[in-house]
Structure 1
Amino acid sequence: MPRKSDIEQAFRNAIKHEQSGRRTVTTVDFVKELAKLNWYWSQREANVWIEYYVTTFKDISAVEGEGRTFMLYNSDGWI
């Protein structure tokens, strides 16, 4: 049986660390990580969760649609 705490773990597992230091998460990767933990969400459901619960990532998607990309940011201008 899936647990709510698995959702946060799936989000952390979906974070990609680039050589430049930038950290990003795609909706597709988040949904894949959720499925590994028995949570089967649509991309729309995943986006809604990210927008509501994750305040440190902003949408940097280059195209419209549900397959979005979020990047870690700091509102003070530094990471």
Structure 2
Amino acid sequence: MAKYSDIGAAFTAAVKPDPKRGFVVTTADFMQQLATRHHHWSPEQANRWIARYQTYFRDYTPHEGDDRCYFMIGMGRIM
């Protein structure tokens, strides 16, 4: 059974350290973590959730498409 509280946990699990940008997360990694928690979202849904609820992450995707890359800005935190 999918629970709303699992969404934040899935995002936290998808965040990876990066030597150049600090902490990064991709839409694909977030969706993979969501699927393990019984949430099956489209890339558009995942990107909208990140943009709305993770205010300390900014998009830096170097290519076109729905698989976006986000990095943590400043001394941000995972919401």
TM-score, structure 1 as length reference: 0.89
Partner of 2:32: 32
Q: State the aligned residue count.
A: 75
Sequence identity of aligned pairs in percent? 37
Corresponding position of 2:42: 42
- Name which one, 1 or 2, has greater alpha-carbon Rg: 1
Structure 1 alignment gaps of length 5 or more:
none
How far apart are 1:19 and its partner, in Å?
Answer: 4.0
20-29 or 40-49: which moved more?
Answer: 20-29
Instruction: Could you tell me which runs of 5 or more consecutive residues in structure 2 were left unpaired when the two chains were aligned.
Output: none
TM-score using structure 2 length: 0.89
| Aligned Cα root-mean-square deviation (Å) | 1.2
Q: Look up the SS of the partner of 2:7 in the other structure.
A: helix
C-alpha displacement at 1:49, in angstroms?
A: 0.4
Q: State the 1:64 CA deviation.
A: 1.4
- CA 1:58 to 1:38, structure 2 compared with 1: closer, same or farther past 3 Å? same
Report what 1:63 is aligned to. 63
